[in-house]
Structure 1
Amino acid sequence: MTLEGGLRILLADDHAVLRAGLRRLFESAGARVVGEAETGEQACRLHAELQPQVLVMDLSMPGMGGIEALRRVRQREAGARVVILSMHESATFATQALRAGALGYVAKSAVADELIEAVRQAAQGRVFVSAAIAQRMASSRSLPAADPATQLSSREFEIFRLLAEGHALDAIAARLYLSSKTVANHQTLIKQKLGVTTPIELVRLAIQHGVVTG
């Protein structure tokens, strides 16, 4: 499977070995990798500098992370074409990524052809979700109304994820370049939207929906 016309791709993942493998994959398919980022901050900066046709990005990176980086890239350039390549195979993450503006969502466990197809479709402005993720998204339609994928904005979801992982408010504020007061306000709103009152309930809900592991 090939990519037409020397497609210009930016890679964002904090694992150098994976980036090297992705570079070989895309270049063997006829694309050109114009840059590599290790953090969400670098992804935002390089996307603005290099203007790739497609950004292939992980969600779990140091710093602000992929969802927030995706939100900021799209905020700066509404037509940005982003494919998420993630270890998270839950429908919740995929739904959030697509709602934040991603055109593709592929699990890292997927076959190479699915990733190449996702990039091809994204370059043409079309959405592609790998088969396994699409099945989970279809099944998730029967989940309770408290599903964080449907109740939270992309920023709220990222704060929800970090809270569920046990990060303090000040640490979350530093990662997302927000004030502690802003994060605290988001925390209150998140609890209201999800119908939880305690940290334990918040973590239990995150585990239920595959946002964190138990």
Structure 2
Amino acid sequence: MSQAIRVLLVDDHSIVRFGYQQLLIARSGVEIVGEADSCASAMMLYRSQEPDVVILDLAIPMDSDSEEVQSTAGGLEAIRRIRSYDPQARILVVSGLDSNPYPQRASQAGVLGYVTKKAASTDLYPAVVRVASGGEYYSKSIAQLVDCEEEAYEDNQLSQLTGRELEIFSMIAEGHKVNQIASIMHVSPKTVHAHRANLLRKLGINSNSEIIQMAMRAGILQT
């Protein structure tokens, strides 16, 4: 390559970012231009560094200054913000969330690749090279999910939720209160309550404890 691929790493765990650095700088043609641990810091660094590729975990907090405000929704929001600022942004998701609806939602949001953390040791470098050139790269198991027939995708209960409902589902599962969620999403508590009512109806459940149980089964929360 004539020029190094400039990469922004976005993950809220410093040890994970360090691991990605080691995987990438061991190969030629990659330069790490910044590290972010939240949606807000990712957006700030994207504006200042204008990287060629963003490596992004979905499970990041909205704001690194507030440990309580953390949700798997942070990554999806970061994708939206970055692509709103730069529709040509090349984003590669690297996530432990390896079942729908997350790969499907990320693909719909405009990412060019999705690598599972389990496959990062082998897939990360080729994925970065591919995405940097404007191509797509998905881990084998993820490609099957992204390319699945719409009918099969609809079998997944969480796929019934809108993007906002999925974000609220994730934040409720992680223990956030209505006022916290409203503050994160810049909406009123009344709007959050309305979304919560809709997602409960769609999922056929009745309480926050059932949301938590479903999130655990989907791998959104770790047991």
TM-score range, shorter chain: 0.7 to 0.9
**Which of 152, 161, 167 matches 1:158?**
167
Q: Which amino acid aligns with 2:152?
A: S
Q: CA-to-partner distance for each residue in 1:77-130, whole Å, 9 max, x for gaps?
A: 211111111122223221121122211111111143311122222222222211
Q: For the Cα contact (< 8 Å) 1:85–1:108, is it kept in 2?
A: yes
Residue 12 of structure 1, CA deviation: 0.8
TM-score by length of 2: 0.81
CA root-mean-square deviation: 2.6
Q: For the Cα contact (< 8 Å) 1:91–1:140, is it kept in 2?
A: no
Secondary structure in 2 matching 1:5:
coil
Residue 202 of structure 1, CA deviation: 3.4
Cα pair distance change 1:117/1:153, threshold 3 Å:
farther
Report the more deviating stretch, 172-181 or 86-95: 172-181
- Whether 1:86 and 2:73 are equivalent positions in the alignment is no
Report the more deviating stretch, 7-16 or 118-127: 118-127
- Whether 1:175 and 2:184 are equivalent positions in the alignment is yes
- Whether 1:187 and 2:196 are equivalent positions in the alignment is yes
Q: Which amino acid aligns with 1:70?
A: I
Report the more deviating stretch, 67-76 or 182-191: 182-191
- Structure-2 separation of matches of 1:181 and 1:60: 26
TM-score by length of 1: 0.84
Residue 213 of structure 1, CA deviation: 4.6
5 Å-filtered alignment, 1:125-140, equals: 125-135=134-144, 138=148
Residue 200 of structure 1, CA deviation: 4.1
Report the more deviating stretch, 125-134 or 71-80: 125-134
Secondary structure in 1 matching 2:143:
helix
- Structure-1 separation of matches of 2:48 and 2:180: 28
Residue 6 of structure 1, CA deviation: 0.3
Q: Which runs of 4+ in 1 moved over 6 A?
A: none
| Counterpart residue number, 2:69 | none
Cα pair distance change 1:124/1:195, threshold 3 Å:
farther
Q: Which amino acid aligns with 1:112?
A: S
- Whether 1:104 and 2:113 are equivalent positions in the alignment is yes
- Structure-2 separation of matches of 1:14 and 1:212: 16
| Counterpart residue number, 1:15 | 13
Question: Identity of paired residues, percent?
Answer: 35
Q: For the Cα contact (< 8 Å) 2:38–2:61, is it kept in 1?
A: yes
Secondary structure in 2 matching 1:110:
helix
Residue 10 of structure 1, CA deviation: 0.6
- Structure-1 separation of matches of 2:139 and 2:40: 26
- Structure-2 separation of matches of 1:22 and 1:146: 31
- The unaligned stretches of length 5 or more in structure 2 are 64-73
Residue 143 of structure 1, CA deviation: 5.8
